[in-house]
Amino acid sequence: MQGMSHRPVIDFILLAALWGASFLFMRVAVLEFGAIATAGLRVGIAALFLLPILVSGGQWPAFRARWRTIMAVGLLNSALPFALISWALLSITSGFASIVNAMVPLFGALVAWAWLKDGLSRWRVLGLALGFGGVAALAWQTPGGASFKPGGSGWAVVACLLACLCFAISASCTKKYLTGVAPMAIAAGSQIGAASGLLLPTIWFWPHAMPGALAWGATAAVAVLCTGIAYILYFRLIEATGPARALAVTFLVPVFALAYGVLLLDEHISTAMLVCGAVIVLGTALSTGLLKPGRQRH
């Protein structure tokens, strides 16, 4: 990316690779743990991983000063969307889910307009329409179509879209209520909040048969690598390049997720998935203002 030094570029690519892998690991884990336990273990292990870093870095007072808000953001930013995505992955592929997830910035633009009164130009409105149209077309191309009957992808797509909405609302909450709070306090504290919220549901929905080593390994990987370490990279990237450039990582995540799915899960990528994915990315770029047609260049 132009104007970025080598370290942020490396962080950017590594973050996209880790978040792309999260769909792979969750797809493997959810088949044995179920949706709730997968999400609960993901945030629980991530919280245990980040807590010592929070304390040793001297950020515990920053968390304690705003712990209620931070933990509430964790419920909305991690607990609920991770459970929704996990449930969706029971019936759709990891690559499919990652493409829908690329709409997070699009939902962010919509929420910011409705709540924070951020303006929407005609190009951004067009981007919103393109993004939602791309998701509708993508759902229609899956086996069973966008049906809400057994075998259809309708409810799984709705779950992914609700997860996107959760991410978007939590981003606006963070901007409105947690500006100036240390990033590590938000990262670790939000996982503590998410783990607290999912503790009892995880116990209640714990699988009757003990999951195998592969499922446990996938769960540990998505927690430590794709949540704990990824959060550190994400907030470091925001600090180095600003939120707008850090946000662009969402566009690269499906590339890695699709590649992992094909290489490791034997998932199929259709031409329709690629076309719909391109439409979603274009719509998201327009709706967030990252792509501005007609902008004068110097």
Answer whether residue 76 is part of any domain. Answer: yes
Lowest mean pLDDT segment, chosen from 6-10, 24-28, 173-177: 6-10
- Using an 8 Å Cβ cutoff, are 17 and 256 in contact? yes
* Residue 42 confidence class, pLDDT cut points 50, 70, 90: very high
Residue-level length of the chain? 298
- The pLDDT of 242-264, averaged and rounded, is 75
* Residue 298 confidence class, pLDDT cut points 50, 70, 90: very low
**Stronger pLDDT, 31 or 115, i.e. the higher one:** 31
* Tens-digit pLDDT profile for residues 117-145: 666 677 767 777 777 777 767 666 655 45
In this model, does residue 297 exceed pLDDT 60? no
- The pLDDT assigned to 243 comes to 59
* Residue 21 confidence class, pLDDT cut points 50, 70, 90: very high
- The pLDDT assigned to 59 comes to 93
Answer whether residue 1 is part of any domain. Answer: no
Count of structural domains, the chain = 1
**Stronger pLDDT, 220 or 181, i.e. the higher one:** 220
Answer whether residue 23 is part of any domain. Answer: yes
Answer whether residue 296 is part of any domain. Answer: no
Answer whether residue 254 is part of any domain. Answer: yes
Q: Give the mean pLDDT of the chain.
A: 83
- The pLDDT assigned to 233 comes to 86
- Cα 187 to Cα 222: distance, rounded to the nearest angstrom: 15
| Phi, psi (degrees; rounded to nearest 5) at 257 | -60, -45
Answer whether residue 294 is part of any domain. Answer: no
* Tens-digit pLDDT profile for residues 256-270: 888 888 888 887 777
- The pLDDT of 63-77, averaged and rounded, is 94
Question: 133 is in which domain, residue-wise?
Answer: 6-288
- The pLDDT assigned to 140 comes to 66
